[in-house]
Amino acid sequence: METVRIGTRGSALALAQAHLTQDLIQREFPQLKAEICVIKTSGDKDHVRSLVSFGGQGVFVKEIEEALLENRIDIAVHSLKDVPDSMDARLELSGFLKRENPRDVLVSNGVRFDDLKPNAKIGTGSPRRVLQLKKMRPDVHCVNLRGNLPSRIEKVKTGELDAILLGAAGLNRLGLAKSISEIFAVENVTPAIGQGIIAIQSCVNNLRAKEIAKKISDETTVIAARAERLWMNLLGGGCRVPMGAILEPQNKNFLFTAYLSDPANGNFLRLAQKFSAEDLAENICEKSLKNFAEKFIAECRKKNIRLPSDVAGTEAIAAFWNAEH
């Protein structure tokens, strides 16, 4: 029996995503054996420092990509939001599973965000989340938070933190949705690019792996992933300043919401635009988004908001954690 080797991180959430992928492969290709291979990444070896302080997005994918290139695995399973905007030319994102709820949520022992006590202490490792929260409540104090989801939730239960901010997708996939106290609207907390999407990565020349990834993909999620990743490239990358973007179905059309903040001055912009399915067809998606990007970039210039392409490396976000917030 032919075996398909699935590479993944070893966290509970990563394994849940890998098992979901494994189940879909076994359902669509019953003649195959899908085997999960756990690979330890740089991001798994350091549970203390903020991610941007030692590499940003790529810390959860580098070693897995090496395993693909060395033919130790056939496909890799990633949270799409962890995948950098550029990758080795020998690799590609060849499929995307049906998107989970992409929104950010508050875990706070049942207390809504507006009802948290003054100067509440909130845990999150994301400058994007911090800056959006503080626009709604300047008094809250946000602290860097790493670790697996149960350990983060425990900090709220014990009172070490008043609340934490997480993605709904991870909690849903681990059966922890009961911990959610509030789901934030996209117009208040815009999610990270690709949030809630499981991406399948393979080598460009591995036609069998690409066939498998395409078969288990969800068409609507493929459109969203392509558009959101394209947006990241149009603005110049995704890990140098806090940014978010989400494409969601809206009746027969799609609503694209984009967010960008400058950590140096706190200025931000959030814009939304409707697109038709025809606008987002693969051969014209780039043109449609470029027109919106030109408008978005012009507004950023007016508001003195630096684009990712204006910032070298990850210094802007790394410096963010050295400031009081």
Strand 198-203, strand 268-276: pairing: unpaired
Same domain, 19 and 76: yes
Total-model pTM: 0.91
Same domain, 125 and 262: no
The per-residue pLDDT for 54 is 41
Mark residue 266 as left, alpha or beta (left: phi above 0; alpha: psi -120 to 50; beta: remaining): left
Same domain, 69 and 205: yes
pLDDT tier for residue 324 given thresholds of 50, 70 and 90: low
Digit-coded pLDDT (tens) for 209-259:
999 999 999 999 999 999 999 999 999 887 778 999 999 999 889 999 999
Any idea what DSSP says for residue 140?
Answer: -
Assigned domain for 151 exists: yes
The per-residue pLDDT for 77 is 97
CA 194/CA 196 separation, integer angstroms = 6
Same domain, 204 and 236: no
Query: Which residue type does 75 have?
Result: I
Class of residue 110 by CB neighbours under 10 A (exposed 0-12, middle 13-18, buried 19+): exposed
CA 285/CA 168 separation, integer angstroms = 28
Q: How many helices (H) and strands (E) does the chain have?
A: 10, 13
The per-residue pLDDT for 321 is 54
Assigned domain for 262 exists: yes
Same domain, 118 and 62: no
CA 278/CA 223 separation, integer angstroms = 11
Strand 198-203, strand 75-79: pairing: antiparallel
The CATH number assigned to the domain holding 158 equals: 3.40.190.10
Same domain, 139 and 273: no
Which residue spans within the chain are E strands per DSSP? Answer: 3-8, 33-38, 75-79, 91-96, 104-107, 121-123, 141-143, 163-167, 182-183, 198-203, 243-250, 253-261, 268-276
Same domain, 63 and 209: yes
pLDDT tier for residue 62 given thresholds of 50, 70 and 90: confident
Is the model's pLDDT at 304 over the cut of 60?
Answer: yes
Digit-coded pLDDT (tens) for 79-112:
999 898 888 999 999 999 999 999 999 999 999 9
What token pair was written down for 82? 């962890």
SS3 269: strand
Contact predicate 261/245, CB 8 Å = no
Same domain, 148 and 268: no
Assigned domain for 321 exists: no
Q: How many domains does the chain have?
A: 3
What is the extent of the structural domain holding 69?
1-97+197-217
The per-residue pLDDT for 218 is 98
CA 98/CA 104 separation, integer angstroms = 18
User: What percentage of residues in the chain have a pLDDT greater than 70?
Assistant: 90
Phi, psi angles (nearest 5°) of residue 299? -70, -35
Same domain, 206 and 72: yes
Same domain, 24 and 70: yes
Which of 174, 190, 206 is a domain's end point?
190
Digit-coded pLDDT (tens) for 310-321:
887 666 566 665
- From the candidates 23, 44, 46, 82, give the one annotated as an active-site residue: 82
Assigned domain for 295 exists: yes
Q: How far is CA 2 from CA 29, 34, 256, in A?
A: 10, 9, 41
Same domain, 57 and 127: no
What token pair was written down for 312? 């070298």
Same domain, 70 and 207: yes
Sheet of 3-8: strand order equals 33-38, 3-8, 75-79, 198-203, 91-96
82: annotated active-site residue: yes
